[in-house]
Amino acid sequence: MNLKKLTHTPPPAHVFGIEAERILYGRLSRRRDALERSEKAALTPGWSRLGPVGLLHVERPVLAAALVALVGQLPKAPARASLVVPDAWIRSLVVDVESLPRQRAEAEEVVRWRLKRVLPCRPDDVRLDFLPTGSNGRVLVSLVLDKPLSAVEDTFAAHGIELGRIEPVSSALTPLLPASATPVLLAVAGEQTLSMLLVSAGRVVLARQKTLPVEAARVSEFVLRELGRTLDHAKTQESAAGTIEVWLVTGEELAEDVQRWAAHRGALSVRRLAVGPGRFPASWSGDEASLWPMLGCAWAGEA
């Protein structure tokens, strides 16, 4: 008997995904190990803008029009759904605290007070989640400005859709990682952002996010440098001993560059993340990798 399954309410079977120029929809199978339906609709380029704290502004009419087009492909709009958003919308950072109160609300106040020193806005203007990364007083914080994210939620709500879980791409992909007794580094090179998550004993202990260079010729060198820095930090600061598994969600050419680079480092295993066959509708046209985060958002199977 799995007590967790009996006491934990699973996420909705419906999930939406937002990209720079399109919005996606997926409906999970009853077993939560496949998408049995997927649809997409275009978004006008430039409909959202980024700032120093991630998502800064959204054009609600543009999002609303795309949502109408997408929902129009469905029998009816789902009442509840999860949402996967670009990594660039979220900011992750580590803050030092001496200790955290046991009560979650009190602990959040301590974290917000620490953020006053590092944020270019009032800490009360952001939504955040946080996770202690060890006994050294460091806390991993993920945050986003409340106002633009509320505009996204309100747009969905205006069409009868209540958003529950809102998760960035890299975080949504972590349930698809194969089980491992050693530390795992997930590296996702998205449309604008390189995101790196170090997972140890089933939990994220380190998150780094970097804006990719605009010039395509510089991307590979940039990614290799940041991967090296992250791996060095993992070994010295996060006590990641032994071989570290690196799972890539990147284009083929960049993945080959990383694998050649890793061959000279030692104690490093590099592979591309993949999802087993039969997980997505045969009618889907295009790269299935764009559907992976939506599947991972409520994953309950084996990669």
Task: Tally helices (H) and strands (E) across the chain.
Answer: 8, 15
Task: Sketch the domain layout of the chain as residue ranges.
Answer: 7-87+146-168, 91-143, 174-272
Query: Tell me, what's the pLDDT at 156?
Result: 98
Q: What's the topology of domain 174-272?
A: Nucleotidyltransferase; domain 5 (3.30.420)
Query: Tell me, what's the pLDDT at 117?
Result: 85
The C-alpha angle with vertex 248 and arms to 206 and 238, in degrees rounded to 5, equals 20
DSSP 176: G
Strands 22-28 and 14-18: what pairing? antiparallel
DSSP 105-122: HHHHHHHHHHHTTT-SS-
> Would the CATH topology of 7-87+146-168 be identical to that of 174-272?
yes
Which ranges of the chain does DSSP label H, i.e. alpha helix?
3-7, 60-71, 104-115, 146-157, 169-173, 216-237, 252-262, 292-296
Per-residue pLDDT of the chain (303 residues; tens, 9 = 90+): 333 333 346 789 999 999 999 999 999 999 989 999 999 999 999 999 999 999 999 999 999 999 999 999 999 999 999 999 999 999 988 888 878 888 888 989 989 998 988 888 998 999 999 888 765 678 889 999 999 999 999 999 999 999 998 999 999 999 999 888 888 999 999 878 999 999 887 788 888 999 999 999 999 999 999 999 999 888 887 667 678 899 999 999 999 999 999 988 888 899 999 998 899 999 898 789 999 999 999 886 665
Q: What's the topology of domain 7-87+146-168?
A: Nucleotidyltransferase; domain 5 (3.30.420)
Please tell me whether the overall predicted TM-score, pTM, comes out greater than 0.85 for this model. yes
For residue 58, the SS3 value is strand
